[in-house]
Structure 1
Amino acid sequence: MAHVTIDFYELLKKGGNLLQYRINNRIKNSLNQMSIIDFTSTKTNPLTNKLDQIQNYSEQLSNYINLPTKTDLANATQLIIQSEEKIDNLDDQLYELTNMMREVKQLIEQLSFSPSDDYSLQLSNKMTEQEQRISTLQYELSQAKQQLELQKDEISHSTFPNQAI
Protein backbone atom coordinates (compact mmCIF):
# COMPACT_ATOMS: atom_id res chain seq x y z
CA MET A 1 0.00 0.00 0.00
CA ALA A 2 1.14 3.39 -0.91
CA HIS A 3 1.19 6.03 1.71
CA VAL A 4 -0.73 9.15 0.55
CA THR A 5 -0.31 12.44 2.39
CA ILE A 6 -3.02 15.05 2.28
CA ASP A 7 -1.91 18.67 2.42
CA PHE A 8 -4.61 20.24 4.57
CA TYR A 9 -3.72 23.84 3.73
CA GLU A 10 -3.71 23.25 -0.02
CA LEU A 11 -7.10 21.54 0.23
CA LEU A 12 -8.46 24.43 2.32
CA LYS A 13 -7.13 26.97 -0.21
CA LYS A 14 -8.78 25.20 -3.17
CA GLY A 15 -12.06 24.83 -1.29
CA GLY A 16 -11.99 28.52 -0.29
CA ASN A 17 -11.38 29.64 -3.87
CA LEU A 18 -14.26 27.47 -5.13
CA LEU A 19 -16.60 28.82 -2.44
CA GLN A 20 -15.58 32.41 -3.22
CA TYR A 21 -16.23 31.84 -6.93
CA ARG A 22 -19.71 30.41 -6.27
CA ILE A 23 -20.66 33.21 -3.85
CA ASN A 24 -19.48 35.90 -6.31
CA ASN A 25 -21.50 34.33 -9.13
CA ARG A 26 -24.61 34.17 -6.96
CA ILE A 27 -24.20 37.86 -5.99
CA LYS A 28 -23.70 38.87 -9.63
CA ASN A 29 -26.75 36.91 -10.76
CA SER A 30 -28.95 38.39 -8.05
CA LEU A 31 -27.79 41.96 -8.74
CA ASN A 32 -28.17 41.70 -12.50
CA GLN A 33 -31.93 41.34 -12.23
CA MET A 34 -33.83 44.15 -13.90
CA SER A 35 -36.33 44.37 -11.05
CA ILE A 36 -33.56 45.31 -8.60
CA ILE A 37 -32.11 47.85 -11.01
CA ASP A 38 -35.52 49.43 -11.58
CA PHE A 39 -36.26 49.49 -7.85
CA THR A 40 -32.98 51.19 -6.94
CA SER A 41 -33.27 53.74 -9.75
CA THR A 42 -36.81 54.71 -8.71
CA LYS A 43 -35.85 55.04 -5.02
CA THR A 44 -32.60 56.94 -5.58
CA ASN A 45 -34.08 60.16 -6.99
CA PRO A 46 -36.51 60.80 -4.12
CA LEU A 47 -33.78 60.07 -1.60
CA THR A 48 -31.40 62.58 -3.18
CA ASN A 49 -34.21 65.15 -3.24
CA LYS A 50 -34.85 64.54 0.47
CA LEU A 51 -31.15 64.89 1.24
CA ASP A 52 -31.02 68.19 -0.66
CA GLN A 53 -34.07 69.43 1.27
CA ILE A 54 -32.49 68.45 4.58
CA GLN A 55 -29.30 70.28 3.66
CA ASN A 56 -31.29 73.40 2.68
CA TYR A 57 -33.23 73.27 5.94
CA SER A 58 -30.06 72.90 7.98
CA GLU A 59 -28.49 75.87 6.17
CA GLN A 60 -31.59 77.98 6.82
CA LEU A 61 -31.56 76.94 10.47
CA SER A 62 -27.86 77.76 10.70
CA ASN A 63 -28.57 81.23 9.32
CA TYR A 64 -31.26 81.80 11.94
CA ILE A 65 -29.03 80.80 14.82
CA ASN A 66 -26.04 82.55 13.26
CA LEU A 67 -23.82 79.52 12.69
CA PRO A 68 -21.65 79.25 9.59
CA THR A 69 -22.48 76.44 7.22
CA LYS A 70 -20.06 74.27 5.29
CA THR A 71 -20.67 76.48 2.27
CA ASP A 72 -19.86 79.60 4.31
CA LEU A 73 -16.63 78.04 5.57
CA ALA A 74 -15.66 76.95 2.07
CA ASN A 75 -16.34 80.45 0.72
CA ALA A 76 -14.34 82.06 3.53
CA THR A 77 -11.43 79.71 2.93
CA GLN A 78 -11.54 80.47 -0.80
CA LEU A 79 -11.47 84.21 -0.08
CA ILE A 80 -8.50 83.78 2.23
CA ILE A 81 -6.63 81.82 -0.42
CA GLN A 82 -7.38 84.50 -3.01
CA SER A 83 -6.21 87.19 -0.58
CA GLU A 84 -2.98 85.30 0.02
CA GLU A 85 -2.36 85.12 -3.72
CA LYS A 86 -2.97 88.85 -4.08
CA ILE A 87 -0.63 89.59 -1.19
CA ASP A 88 2.02 87.40 -2.79
CA ASN A 89 1.60 89.32 -6.05
CA LEU A 90 1.90 92.64 -4.21
CA ASP A 91 4.96 91.37 -2.39
CA ASP A 92 6.57 90.42 -5.71
CA GLN A 93 5.75 93.82 -7.15
CA LEU A 94 7.23 95.57 -4.10
CA TYR A 95 10.36 93.49 -4.45
CA GLU A 96 10.68 94.52 -8.09
CA LEU A 97 10.08 98.16 -7.13
CA THR A 98 12.77 97.96 -4.48
CA ASN A 99 15.25 96.62 -7.00
CA MET A 100 14.32 99.34 -9.49
CA MET A 101 14.69 102.01 -6.79
CA ARG A 102 18.17 100.73 -5.95
CA GLU A 103 19.16 100.82 -9.59
CA VAL A 104 17.82 104.36 -10.00
CA LYS A 105 19.60 105.43 -6.84
CA GLN A 106 22.86 104.01 -8.14
CA LEU A 107 22.35 105.83 -11.43
CA ILE A 108 21.69 109.11 -9.61
CA GLU A 109 24.81 108.64 -7.54
CA GLN A 110 26.81 108.00 -10.70
CA LEU A 111 25.31 111.04 -12.41
CA SER A 112 25.95 113.37 -9.56
CA PHE A 113 29.13 115.25 -10.26
CA SER A 114 29.62 116.67 -6.83
CA PRO A 115 28.23 115.75 -3.41
CA SER A 116 26.99 119.29 -2.91
CA ASP A 117 24.73 119.14 -5.94
CA ASP A 118 21.32 120.15 -4.56
CA TYR A 119 19.24 118.32 -7.15
CA SER A 120 21.00 114.96 -6.67
CA LEU A 121 20.74 115.37 -2.89
CA GLN A 122 16.98 115.94 -3.17
CA LEU A 123 16.61 112.91 -5.41
CA SER A 124 18.61 110.78 -2.98
CA ASN A 125 16.42 111.92 -0.10
CA LYS A 126 13.26 111.13 -2.06
CA MET A 127 14.62 107.72 -2.96
CA THR A 128 15.43 107.02 0.68
CA GLU A 129 11.89 107.99 1.68
CA GLN A 130 10.44 105.73 -0.99
CA GLU A 131 12.63 102.85 0.15
CA GLN A 132 11.40 103.33 3.72
CA ARG A 133 7.78 103.33 2.55
CA ILE A 134 8.36 100.17 0.55
CA SER A 135 9.97 98.42 3.51
CA THR A 136 7.03 99.48 5.69
CA LEU A 137 4.61 98.10 3.10
CA GLN A 138 6.54 94.86 2.92
CA TYR A 139 6.35 94.53 6.71
CA GLU A 140 2.61 95.23 6.68
CA LEU A 141 2.11 92.69 3.89
CA SER A 142 3.95 90.04 5.85
CA GLN A 143 1.78 90.80 8.90
CA ALA A 144 -1.38 90.54 6.79
CA LYS A 145 -0.15 87.26 5.37
CA GLN A 146 0.39 85.86 8.86
CA GLN A 147 -3.10 86.99 9.89
CA LEU A 148 -4.59 85.25 6.87
CA GLU A 149 -2.72 82.07 7.73
CA LEU A 150 -4.06 82.19 11.28
CA GLN A 151 -7.61 82.73 10.03
CA LYS A 152 -7.27 79.91 7.54
CA ASP A 153 -6.04 77.60 10.30
CA GLU A 154 -8.93 78.63 12.54
CA ILE A 155 -11.45 77.94 9.79
CA SER A 156 -9.93 74.61 8.84
CA HIS A 157 -9.82 73.44 12.49
CA SER A 158 -13.28 74.64 13.45
CA THR A 159 -15.96 71.98 13.51
CA PHE A 160 -19.62 72.44 14.07
CA PRO A 161 -21.54 69.39 15.31
CA ASN A 162 -24.88 70.61 13.88
CA GLN A 163 -23.64 70.87 10.31
CA ALA A 164 -25.32 69.08 7.45
CA ILE A 165 -23.11 66.92 5.34
Structure 2
Amino acid sequence: MVYGIYKGESMLAGAVGPICRRFGKEAPKKLVQSLEATNVLKESRGLYDCLSKYKDILVKIGFIKNEDLVLEDLGDEVLVKLGGRCTYLNVCTQLNKEEVRDVYGLMPCGRLIALAGIAEASLNKIFDAKLVSYNPPNCSGKIFEYKK
Protein backbone atom coordinates (compact mmCIF):
# COMPACT_ATOMS: atom_id res chain seq x y z
CA MET A 1 0.00 0.00 0.00
CA VAL A 2 2.81 2.42 0.89
CA TYR A 3 4.55 1.65 -2.40
CA GLY A 4 1.34 2.29 -4.36
CA ILE A 5 0.76 5.68 -2.78
CA TYR A 6 4.37 6.78 -3.29
CA LYS A 7 4.45 5.52 -6.87
CA GLY A 8 1.04 6.97 -7.69
CA GLU A 9 1.88 10.43 -6.44
CA SER A 10 5.21 10.40 -8.27
CA MET A 11 3.44 9.46 -11.51
CA LEU A 12 0.80 12.17 -11.10
CA ALA A 13 2.94 14.97 -9.72
CA GLY A 14 6.40 13.99 -10.96
CA ALA A 15 7.73 13.45 -7.42
CA VAL A 16 6.79 12.22 -3.98
CA GLY A 17 5.23 15.08 -2.04
CA PRO A 18 2.62 16.08 0.50
CA ILE A 19 0.20 13.20 -0.11
CA CYS A 20 2.83 10.59 0.73
CA ARG A 21 4.10 12.55 3.70
CA ARG A 22 0.60 12.97 5.11
CA PHE A 23 -0.21 9.28 4.67
CA GLY A 24 3.20 8.28 6.01
CA LYS A 25 2.63 10.34 9.13
CA GLU A 26 -1.02 9.48 9.76
CA ALA A 27 -0.73 5.67 9.63
CA PRO A 28 1.77 5.44 12.54
CA LYS A 29 -0.38 7.82 14.59
CA LYS A 30 -3.19 5.28 14.34
CA LEU A 31 -0.81 2.52 15.44
CA VAL A 32 0.16 4.47 18.55
CA GLN A 33 -3.50 5.11 19.34
CA SER A 34 -4.41 1.44 18.86
CA LEU A 35 -1.59 0.41 21.20
CA GLU A 36 -2.90 2.96 23.70
CA ALA A 37 0.58 4.43 23.89
CA THR A 38 -0.49 8.02 23.29
CA ASN A 39 -0.44 8.97 26.97
CA VAL A 40 3.06 7.60 27.50
CA LEU A 41 4.42 9.47 24.48
CA LYS A 42 2.62 12.73 25.31
CA GLU A 43 4.60 12.83 28.57
CA SER A 44 7.83 13.10 26.54
CA ARG A 45 10.24 15.91 27.31
CA GLY A 46 11.11 16.50 23.66
CA LEU A 47 11.76 14.87 20.31
CA TYR A 48 14.55 12.52 21.41
CA ASP A 49 12.65 11.39 24.51
CA CYS A 50 9.50 10.78 22.45
CA LEU A 51 11.28 8.70 19.81
CA SER A 52 13.16 6.76 22.50
CA LYS A 53 9.92 5.87 24.25
CA TYR A 54 8.35 4.83 20.94
CA LYS A 55 11.37 2.67 20.15
CA ASP A 56 11.04 1.01 23.57
CA ILE A 57 7.40 0.17 22.77
CA LEU A 58 8.34 -1.35 19.40
CA VAL A 59 11.08 -3.45 21.01
CA LYS A 60 8.78 -4.55 23.82
CA ILE A 61 6.09 -5.83 21.43
CA GLY A 62 8.71 -7.54 19.25
CA PHE A 63 8.19 -5.32 16.20
CA ILE A 64 11.90 -4.45 16.05
CA LYS A 65 15.11 -5.43 17.81
CA ASN A 66 16.92 -2.81 19.87
CA GLU A 67 19.72 -2.55 17.29
CA ASP A 68 17.27 -1.99 14.41
CA LEU A 69 16.78 1.64 15.43
CA VAL A 70 19.58 3.74 16.93
CA LEU A 71 18.76 7.28 18.03
CA GLU A 72 21.24 10.07 18.70
CA ASP A 73 20.18 13.35 20.30
CA LEU A 74 21.61 16.28 18.33
CA GLY A 75 19.74 18.98 20.24
CA ASP A 76 17.18 20.39 17.80
CA GLU A 77 17.10 17.18 15.77
CA VAL A 78 17.54 13.45 16.16
CA LEU A 79 19.88 11.35 14.06
CA VAL A 80 18.22 8.02 13.29
CA LYS A 81 20.26 5.01 12.19
CA LEU A 82 18.14 2.25 10.70
CA GLY A 83 19.13 -1.34 10.27
CA GLY A 84 18.07 -4.93 10.29
CA ARG A 85 14.35 -5.47 9.97
CA CYS A 86 13.14 -2.20 8.42
CA THR A 87 9.49 -2.71 7.51
CA TYR A 88 9.85 -0.31 4.59
CA LEU A 89 12.87 -2.05 3.02
CA ASN A 90 11.04 -3.52 0.02
CA VAL A 91 9.24 -0.23 -0.62
CA CYS A 92 12.44 1.83 -0.56
CA THR A 93 14.49 -0.52 -2.71
CA GLN A 94 11.76 -0.73 -5.35
CA LEU A 95 11.25 3.05 -5.39
CA ASN A 96 15.00 3.49 -5.74
CA LYS A 97 15.13 1.09 -8.70
CA GLU A 98 12.38 3.14 -10.34
CA GLU A 99 14.19 6.39 -9.48
CA VAL A 100 11.24 7.80 -7.52
CA ARG A 101 12.36 10.88 -5.58
CA ASP A 102 10.81 13.64 -3.53
CA VAL A 103 10.45 17.21 -4.77
CA TYR A 104 14.06 17.94 -3.75
CA GLY A 105 15.44 15.00 -5.71
CA LEU A 106 16.06 12.94 -2.56
CA MET A 107 15.10 9.35 -1.84
CA PRO A 108 11.98 9.27 0.39
CA CYS A 109 12.22 7.17 3.56
CA GLY A 110 8.98 5.72 4.86
CA ARG A 111 10.42 4.82 8.25
CA LEU A 112 11.71 8.34 8.91
CA ILE A 113 8.43 9.90 7.81
CA ALA A 114 6.58 7.49 10.12
CA LEU A 115 8.79 8.50 13.05
CA ALA A 116 8.11 12.16 12.31
CA GLY A 117 4.39 11.34 12.43
CA ILE A 118 4.76 9.71 15.83
CA ALA A 119 6.50 12.82 17.13
CA GLU A 120 3.76 15.05 15.69
CA ALA A 121 1.01 13.03 17.34
CA SER A 122 2.79 13.06 20.67
CA LEU A 123 4.26 16.55 20.88
CA ASN A 124 1.66 18.59 18.95
CA LYS A 125 4.32 20.15 16.72
CA ILE A 126 5.13 19.68 13.05
CA PHE A 127 8.15 17.49 12.30
CA ASP A 128 9.90 16.54 9.10
CA ALA A 129 12.48 13.95 8.10
CA LYS A 130 15.43 13.90 5.75
CA LEU A 131 17.34 10.85 4.57
CA VAL A 132 21.07 11.43 5.04
CA SER A 133 22.45 8.08 3.90
CA TYR A 134 20.70 5.52 1.69
CA ASN A 135 22.27 2.08 2.11
CA PRO A 136 19.44 -0.42 2.80
CA PRO A 137 18.86 -1.75 5.33
CA ASN A 138 21.46 0.47 7.03
CA CYS A 139 20.16 3.93 6.24
CA SER A 140 20.32 7.05 8.37
CA GLY A 141 18.45 10.30 8.51
CA LYS A 142 17.39 13.19 10.67
CA ILE A 143 14.07 14.13 12.21
CA PHE A 144 13.57 17.76 13.12
CA GLU A 145 10.88 20.27 13.98
CA TYR A 146 9.55 22.11 10.96
CA LYS A 147 9.77 25.84 11.55
CA LYS A 148 8.20 28.33 9.19
Q: TM-score range by the shorter chain?
A: under 0.3
Q: Which has the higher strand share?
A: 2
Q: TM-score normalized by structure 1?
A: 0.21
Q: TM-score normalized by structure 2?
A: 0.23
Instruction: Tell which structure's C-alpha radius of gyration is larger.
Output: 1
**Bigger relative contact order (CA 8 A; separation at least 6):** 1
